[in-house]
Chain A
Amino acid sequence: MSPAQLSSLPGGRTGKPRHHILSVLVENKAGVLSRVAGLFSRRGFNIYSLAVAPTDENEHFSRITIVVDVESAPLEQVIMQLDKLVNVVSIGELSPAEAVERELLLVTVHVGPTERSQVIQLVGVFGGDVVSVGTDRITIMLAGRPEKIDDFEGLLEQYTVVELQRTGRVALPKLDRH
């Protein structure tokens, strides 16, 4: 990971990431998210971001991707406590260096006549899409590595952002090529 990428992580430039990604397979049952979130608050662990969706056709299972602030508690303890939840089927631990991480951004920007083309150009450079167009505003979608989203969000600062929504990251292990 390059220093530039590191800087955008919660760990800053210390070289040691403060966050870890947990990929938690759970039974897709009522209240499971509440059990997971409740465990984190009850044990004093901090969640940096969280994303959840069903993983199989029959919707028996969901995958929760949790970015954990590991300074709030030893990662091992977080995993052990999570594993005690009866609805948690398995837990994968992904260090940022070993994971493919992606995130989705939707953002609506106020654009005057001169700004419109500038912003659309920027979207093109980042490989995003304009997904909705109004008279004086446009909504953009951008998917990619969280650091890329951070960069794009930074560049939008010179314009008037009306609304912004990020999904929080999802992740899977990087594949071994050997």
Chain B
Amino acid sequence: MQLTGAQALIKSLEMQGVDVMFGLPGGAILPVYDPIIDSSIRHILVRHEQGAGHMAEGYAMVTGKPGVAMVTSGPGATNIVTPLANAYMDSTPLVVVSGQVATGSIGTDAFQECDITGVTMGITKHNWLIKDVDDIPRVVAAAFHVATTGRPGPVLIDFPKDIANATMEWYWPTSVDDLDLPGYHPLTVGDPGLVRQAAELIRSAHRPVLYVGGGVLKARAAEALRVLAERTGIPVVTTLMARGAFPDSHPQCLGMPGMHGHYTAVTAMQRSDLLISLGARFDDRVTGKISAFAPDAKIIHVDIDPAELGKVRQADVGIAGDCRLVVEELLSAMDASGDAPVAQDLAPWWGQIHGWQEQFPLYYDHAEGGAIKPQMVVEQLRDAAPDDAIVVSGVGQHQMWASQYWQFDYPYTWVNSGGAGTMGFAVPASIGAKVGRPDRTVWAIDGDGCFQMTAQELVTATAEQIPVKIAILNNAYLGMVRQWQEMFYEERYSEVYLSPDLPDYVKWAEAMGCVGIRAESPEDVGPAIEKANSIDDRPVVVDFRTDAFEKVFPMVAAGQSNDDIVVHPDQAGRAR
């Protein structure tokens, strides 16, 4: 069967099981858009290529399938650089196809030419420039294989226009050996000797903590983790990337660690004598000052990426492997040791932990009257949403409040930009999440600064009938920066004020075909949420005018030790 390069590309995507992709056409990618008309793949036309990338990420994070985006050359391709960088930091599988000028024009500074494989080399797991039409099926299959195996990540295929127009004899690679990847051998199973050593360390620890990162979700290891936690009785912290990997409602869950983590999660890690790190990478936002992080703890570090072992903190037992497989091996190793207890009596440790939980629960000042508290909005959104609702956030104060005050009881219900901290992530990512899980309620909890960066994608949502719900915690500021300027720059506020009513978010929402709702006082919050939840045929935007002076607590200042965690002023006097 003879196909054009463009047809072969689309057919290859169909062969990979792609059911939806996000994109925006242009000159160099034009030939590829023609066979899309006849394809089974749903194409969602975005308003900016950054939106396509974040939608693909949102889709991937809730479905576990790779997100697919297609853009044209030059500015189309550079506009998707931020999503690629974001997906690289958060290990999200993405396949991005970018148009490229014809092979004969490459290097001549042709119209809309950009060396996008060069630009994205450091922010993709791998990328390909196709120079031979016969390579298309093989490269597409290789791209999906690389994106989804080992440590997942984004890949890019650069696709010159003349290759799209050339013809080839169709084939489809039937095995991994046909993909021409002689240097790619992702690990899966952990070394049994190391697993036994890990089981020994767990058996002898008196103050262990399971430090759970996003890798547990990537490995679909939530169930195995629950078995391990319950079998050993060890407390669990879930990082920002792992919220939902272990139920917040579980009595062993201590919540989120890190810069704005729960006091108990942060402190339990600091005092721990054994950290069992599963799919986490000792990010600076978790460890604080690294030399002061968990000083008495031995480290078991499980990660599918061997380069993570010892990158930041040397492990006592470092196991390269898939988190689910390694946890299952660990459980088998515990079975094999017969009737011997798998852990020490952890009652004294739990006694300490319960003391911290009692003294320093999450807290904000509920004072009656006055402005809407952003935390209260999150609580009311949570209480009015189905248990399995998906929550998406941007980056900043609203993200921390969403992570702190939502109750995540299911995996893949939390979508946010962790490592890269990409403002503007929430609106497009929520659209992608809703496309991936149309059966679920999808709430984006966004900031006013973030919303203004990518709000135009709500036009896409309306046009494509993707009924997402957006809650703007509108405090009229770039709130997290404002908080730092208040705390560390003597309240010298530099370029952080945005205004509560410029733009008018309700009118803007309406102009984009959404329902716009405003809540100006605490008593408006409940009815606004109720109204938003009653609408299911179009996107909804709720403008919550929140208290501009509210700060995120607890907080570990940048570069400080986690021992110096700052709690809410109302809790400051309490014994630690």
Residue positions of A touching B, CB distance < 8 A: 26-27, 30-31, 34-35, 38-39, 42, 74, 76-77, 80-81, 83-90
Contact = CB atoms under 8 A, between A and B. Distances in A.
Contacts of A86: 125-126, 146, 181, 183-184
Contact of A87 (B122, B129, B183): B183
A76 B309 CA distance: 10
Contacts of A90: 183
B49 interface: no
Interface string B302-341: 0001110111000000000000000000000000000000
B117 interface: yes
B117 A31 contact: yes
A89 B307 contact: no
A76 B310 contact: yes
A42 B122 contact: yes
B306 A34 contact: no
A85 B183 contact: yes
B121 A34 contact: yes
8 contacts: A26-B183, A31-B121, A38-B121, A83-B307, A86-B126, A86-B181, A89-B182, A90-B183
A102 B461 CA distance: 63
A81 B125 CA distance: 12
B193 interface: no
A86 B126 CA distance: 7
Interface in B109-149: 117-118, 121-122, 125-126, 129, 131, 146
Contact of A80 (B126, B131, B307): B307
Given A30-B129, A89-B183, A84 B121 contact: no
Contacts of A81: 307
Contacts of B181: 86
A3 B117 CA distance: 47
A134 to B, nearest CB: 37
Given A31-B121, A38-B122, A42-B122, A77 B307 contact: yes
Interface of A is mostly: mixed
A76 B315 CA distance: 13
A80 B305 CA distance: 9
B310 A77 contact: yes
Nearest to B151: A84
Contacts of B146: 86
Contacts of B122: 38-39, 42
A88 B122 CA distance: 15
Given A38-B121, A86-B126, A86-B146, A27 B182 contact: yes
Interface in B160-193: 181-184
A3 to B, nearest CB: 33
Interface string B422-457: 000000000000000000000000000000000000
The 6 closest A-B pairs by CB, nearest first: A80-B307, A86-B126, A89-B183, A88-B183, A42-B122, A86-B184
Contacts of B310: 74, 76-77
B134 to A, nearest CB: 16
A76 B129 CA distance: 31
A104 to B, nearest CB: 28
A88 B309 CA distance: 20
Nearest to B312: A77
B368 to A, nearest CB: 53
A39 B125 CA distance: 12
Contacts of B305: 84
Contacts of A87: 126, 183
B336 to A, nearest CB: 30
Interface in B263-319: 305-307, 309-311
A87 B117 CA distance: 14
Contacts of B309: 80
Nearest to A30: B129
Contacts of A34: 118, 121
Nearest to B186: A84
Contacts of B311: 77, 80
B501 to A, nearest CB: 43
A74 B122 CA distance: 20
A131 B28 CA distance: 51
B47 to A, nearest CB: 32
A90 B184 CA distance: 10
User: Which of A31, A39, A74, A88 has the most C-beta atoms of chain B within 10 angstroms of its own C-beta?
Assistant: A31
Nearest to B320: A80
Given A30-B129, A77-B307, 6 more contacts: A27-B183, A34-B121, A74-B310, A77-B311, A80-B306, A86-B183
Contacts of A80: 306-307, 309, 311
Contact of B121 (A35, A77, A89): A35
Interface in B189-221: none
A121 B365 CA distance: 89
Contacts of A77: 307, 310-311
Of the candidates B131, B306, B307, B310, the one having the most CB atoms from chain A within 10 angstroms of its own CB is B307
Nearest to A78: B307
A35 B119 CA distance: 11
B133 to A, nearest CB: 17
B122 to A, nearest CB: 5
Nearest to A42: B122
B253 to A, nearest CB: 32
Contacts of A84: 305, 307
A141 B184 CA distance: 40
A25 to B, nearest CB: 8
Nearest to A32: B183
A90 B185 CA distance: 11
B184 to A, nearest CB: 5
Contacts of B131: 30
Nearest to B307: A80
Nearest to A31: B117
Contacts of B129: 30-31
A30 B131 CA distance: 11
Nearest to B309: A80
A86 B320 CA distance: 18
Contacts of B126: 85-87
Contacts of A74: 310
User: Most B CB atoms within 10 A — which of A35, A74, A84?
Assistant: A84
Given A34-B121, A35-B121, A83 B306 contact: yes
Nearest to A87: B183
B106 to A, nearest CB: 11
A77 B315 CA distance: 13
B98 to A, nearest CB: 15
A85 B155 CA distance: 12
B319 to A, nearest CB: 14
A115 to B, nearest CB: 46
A67 B433 CA distance: 47
